[in-house]
Amino acid sequence: MKTPDTRSEPCPQGYAIFLFDSTQGALKAERALLRAGFSIKLIPTPREISSDCGTALRCDWSDSEAVQAALHLANASFASVHHIEERA
């Protein structure tokens, strides 16, 4: 009988990039997250991800679930979230 592998998956490193339908949405999210104490940054939307709204929000990948929850509580909607590997 095969023993199940109980090792945990390695925690992914890198950044979460949140995309928004408008610049106004990105600014609302930034205000809410800064008030909540998150370390975030507004950045130009990477073209390899989308050609829509020109403003995106970046945070550490390890904070992405908490950021999503905070955005939900602040009624600040986002279009999608993407994982970007940290470059060595």
pTM of the model: 0.81
Number of domains in the chain: 1
Q: To which H or E segment does residue 73 belong?
A: helix 64-73
Whether 39 maps to a domain, the answer reads yes
pLDDT at 10: 45
Arithmetic mean of pLDDT, 11-26: 89
8 domain residue, yes or no? no
Q: Which domain holds residue 64?
A: 15-84
Q: Residue 65 is part of a domain; what is its CATH number?
A: 3.30.70.260
pLDDT tens track for 31-87: 999 999 999 999 999 888 877 768 999 999 999 999 999 999 999 999 999 999 876
Checking phi first, is residue 37 left (phi over 0); if not, alpha (psi -120 to 50) or beta? left
